[in-house]
Amino acid sequence: MNILNKLSPQFKEFLQEEGIDEEIFLFEQTLRYVRIKPDYQITFEQLQQQVSFSMQPIHEIPKLYSLPANQKINNLQLYKNGHLYGIDKSSAAVVYSLDINKDDINVLEICCAPGAKLTFIADLLRVETEKDGIQRKVFGVDISQNRLNITQSIVNKYKLEKYVELILQDGTKYKNQIQFDKVLIDAECTHEGSIKHLKKYIQKPMHEQNSKKQQKNNKASKKQLQKNYTNTYTTEQTKANEWTEEDFNSRFLDQKKLQQIYDLQFSLLENGYKLLKQNGILIYSTCSFSQKQNEDQIIKFLEQNNDAILVHPFYGMQEQQCKSGQIFNTVRFDPKVSNTGGMFIAKIKKL
């Protein structure tokens, strides 16, 4: 199915403006992915028996496995017991690129909700702590209380409370006396890299989507929007409007809103870098295919920070099924090349 034929014709204008290849939208993920807790002892044969005989290991990332896209995991005992997590391979690759090791004591993720990457980081820190007894922690910052509540429930489910500290704050303003070993900026973006999310706009005609309940929620959340105006993609009003025609037009067609997201992304990058210690690593990622939201942000940032250098996200690590970005030492995941959702990854070292 060509999803572009189902969306507003103006969406193609957005793709052209953002330098996005329309061909990407002709492909669809045929797989979903799960990971197993890094220290959970189980054989592959046992996994297949308990999950699915279609399950296959992803050799590029330890303890990551593929399943058919329509495979449900909610009823699996491994999931209920907190040993199995759902996470896209592209998101797992973001965490993998951080290269968490014994020297990482304090890690920061900005825009951490809903928590798939955060809990992956926490699991890796937990394993190192259980080896040497040195307490480690990942600090998760997000501007949305509702999204943080979801994140907290996931942290609790997987019994990672000791390794996670959640902070309700605008990521562009967050401060801490700690200089972090690693920083992940999982930046807010237009999210068109997730085709399964785009499909939600076409499940029924857009003009039918604005219900009275949504209109009531929009009005009730007006003050929240004004309070959080710097982050137009995570306000409570945005959540109330999600997958409506208003949301679609605001996300992709409103040039003022698009400029706000560009500005927000750069501010998140700047603030995250301030919190990074010397010789530390910062990962900037988005699930957008847009060059303006990805490579252009990195170019601008490097021009303004002489002590920052780009290194390949997987240098000295297992090579991933992805393609090079538009600038050297950046990578992209997409349904065509990677059988994943869209993801851009840049890895910056602070000299």
3-state secondary structure 259-310: HHHHHHHHHHHHHHHHCEEEEEEEEEEECCCCCCCCHHHHHHHHHHCCCEEE
At 197 the pLDDT is: 79
DSSP H helices in 99-194: 116-132, 145-157
Whether the CB-CB separation of 89 and 33 falls below 8 Å is answered with yes
At 253 the pLDDT is: 83
What pTM does this model have? Answer: 0.90
At 146 the pLDDT is: 95
**Residues involved in catalysis:** 287
At 194 the pLDDT is: 84
Q: Which fold has domain 31-86?
A: Alpha-Beta Plaits (3.30.70)
Phi/psi at 225 (5° precision): -60, -45
At 205 the pLDDT is: 53
At 110 the pLDDT is: 98
Q: List the chain residues with pLDDT less than 50.
A: 208-234, 236
At 228 the pLDDT is: 40
What count of other Cβ atoms lies within 10 Å of the Cβ of residue 69?
13
Q: CA-CA distance, 344 to 32, in Å (whole number)?
A: 19
At 225 the pLDDT is: 34
Please state the residue numbers annotated as binding site for S-adenosyl-L-methionine: 142, 170, 186
Angle of the 245-252 helix axis to the 255-274 helix axis, nearest 10: 60
pLDDT in tens, 44-60: 999 999 999 999 999 99
At 5 the pLDDT is: 83
Ordered by start, the domain boundaries in the chain are 31-86, 89-191+260-350
Superfamily of 89-191+260-350 according to CATH: Vaccinia Virus protein VP39 (3.40.50.150)
